[in-house]
Amino acid sequence: MIAVMGAGAFGTALAVSIARGGEAVTLWARDADAVARMQADRSTPRLPGVELPETITATAETGSIPVEVPILLAVPMQKLREVATAHAAMLAGHPLVACCKGIELATGLGPSQVLAEVLPDATVALLTGPSFAADIARGLPTALTLACADGTVAEQLQKAIATPNLRLYRTDDVTGAETGGAMKNVIAIACGAAIGAGFGESARAAVMTRGYAEMVRLATRRGARAETLAGLSGLGDLALTCTSTQSRNYAFGLSLGRGETFDASITVEGAATARAVRDEAARQGIEMPITEVVTRLIDGALDMETALGLLLSRPLKEE
Domain boundaries, the chain: 2-172, 175-312
pLDDT of amino acid 226:
97
Q: What is 189-215 written as a DSSP string?
A: HHHHHHHHTT--HHHHHHHHHHHHHHH
- C-alpha span between 242 and 254 (Å, rounded): 11
**What is the distance between the alpha carbons of residues 219 and 281, in angstroms, rounded to a whole number?**
11
pTM, full prediction? 0.93
User: Are the C-beta atoms of residues 2 and 29 closer than 8 Å to each other?
Assistant: no
Residues taking part in catalysis = 184
User: Which pLDDT does position 68 carry in this prediction?
Assistant: 86
The residues pairing with 3 across neighbouring beta strands, listed in sequence order, are 26, 71
How many whole angstroms separate alpha carbon 147 and alpha carbon 317? Answer: 35
Q: Which CATH number fits domain 175-312: 2.60.40.740, 1.10.340.30, 1.10.10.10, 1.10.1040.10?
A: 1.10.1040.10
Q: Are 185 and 192 in contact (CB under 8 A)?
A: no
Of 191, 205, 187, which Cα lies nearest the Cα of 288? 187
At 146 the pLDDT is: 98
pLDDT at position 316: 66
pLDDT tens across the length of the chain (319 residues): 999 999 999 999 999 999 999 899 999 999 999 999 999 999 999 999 999 999 999 999 988 898 889 999 999 999 999 999 999 999 998 999 999 999 999 999 999 999 999 999 999 999 999 999 999 999 999 999 999 999 999 999 999 999 999 999 999 999 999 999 999 999 999 999 999 999 999 999 999 999 999 999 999 999 999 999 999 999 999 999 999 999 999 999 999 999 999 998 888 999 999 999 999 999 999 999 999 999 999 999 988 889 888 887 777 677 7
CA 61, CA 70: separation in Å to the nearest integer?
17
Question: What's domain 2-172's architecture?
Answer: 3-Layer(aba) Sandwich (3.40)
- The set of long-range contacts for 82-90, using a CB threshold of 8 Å and a minimum separation of 24, is 83/5, 83/6, 84/114, 84/115, 84/118, 84/119, 85/118, 87/5, 87/62, 88/118, 88/119, 90/62, 90/63, 90/65
d(CA 79, CA 268): 13
CA nearest 307: which of 215, 213, 189?
A: 189
